[in-house]
Structure 1
Amino acid sequence: MVFDTKIAIVLRDDLPVWQKLNVTAFLTSGIAAQFPEIIGEPYRDRAGNLYNPMSIQPVIVLSADQATLGAIHRRALERGVTMSAYIEEMFATGHDVANRAVFAQFAPDDAKIVGIALRGEKKLVDKITKSARMHG
């Protein structure tokens, strides 16, 4: 299946593995909420057990340093692309209300972004995420 759009997650390259996994999970939930059409049908195993549906579209995971993440954030905002964003201060909170409260304390220029997820037309996502590299 060929997609006209691309989903990309960009993580700050100096995060510990547990934080990368946590941020990826949170960011992915934002993309699924914003674009419910990417969610497929439930999975069923041979025994008939039912499992949750998942994204029909692949997700690319990239890595970048703090400065590059800031540039990606700015490019997405300049192009009007809605994104999921996770800032460093959210690691100290424990629930959604606290996350949104701490997030609201920062502007794009002073937010310490540790992860961004976006979905858009392939070429646009490539332009926004340029200079990030494949995670690994």
Structure 2
Amino acid sequence: MCCMNAPVRFPTKIAVLLRDDLLVWQRLNVTAFLVSGISTAYPEVIGAPYQDADDVTYLPMFRQPVLVLEGSKELLTTAHTRALSRGVTMSIFTSDLFTTGHDADNRAAVRTVPTAALDLVGLALHAPRTAVDKILKGAVMHS
């Protein structure tokens, strides 16, 4: 019989890469926005709803860990390029989005900037473990 507490090794990773010069509130805000993109694009990563002992039901969450990493502005640009070259879709957050107030303005702000000129402050992706490792090479765990 297998041990119930044995670690699970997922074939994929969910990872967020944040620019290392963000303020704490920005890091939290960017992370929340970025992972929302992963949850909608990959519904299979969402587990079942939670329920407490009093039968109160809570929303489901990711069924696997989310790695939160950080790196320089240059590393974000490199990771973005690596993901694109590997065909890995991602959610992105640019510095312009700190000045917008809602989804339509966010999308409009990104739409006006060429890919190579995006001022990325964060990105999130879900892909096979080895692909994520290669794309985010050089990033360190968020502290």
- Superposition TM-score tier, normalisation by shorter sequence: over 0.9
Q: Which amino acid aligns with 2:35?
A: T
Partner of 1:40, secondary structure, is coil
Unaligned runs of 5+ in 1: none
- Within-5 A mapping of 1:17-32: 17-32=24-39
Q: Which runs of 4+ in 1 moved over 4 A?
A: none
Amino acid at match of 1:73: H
Identity of aligned residues (%): 51
How high is the TM-score relative to the length of structure 1? Answer: 0.98
Structure 2 unmatched runs, 5+ = 1-7
Q: Which residue matches 1:14? A: 21
Alpha carbons 1:74, 1:108 under 8 Å: kept: no
The Cα shift of 1:2 comes to 2.0
> CA deviation digits over 1:85-114, x for unaligned, max 9?
000001100110000000001122111000
Q: Greater Rg, structure 1 or structure 2?
A: 2
Superposed CA RMSD in Å reads 0.6
Aligned residue pairs, count? 136
Q: Give 1:108's aligned residue.
A: 115
- Give the TM-score of the pair, scaled to structure 2: 0.93
**Displacement of 1:45:** 0.7
1:117 matched residue in structure 2:
124
Distance 2:50 2:66 in 1: 19
How far the C-alpha of 1:47 sits from its partner, in A, is 1.3
SS at match of 2:98: helix
**2:84 maps to amino acid:** L
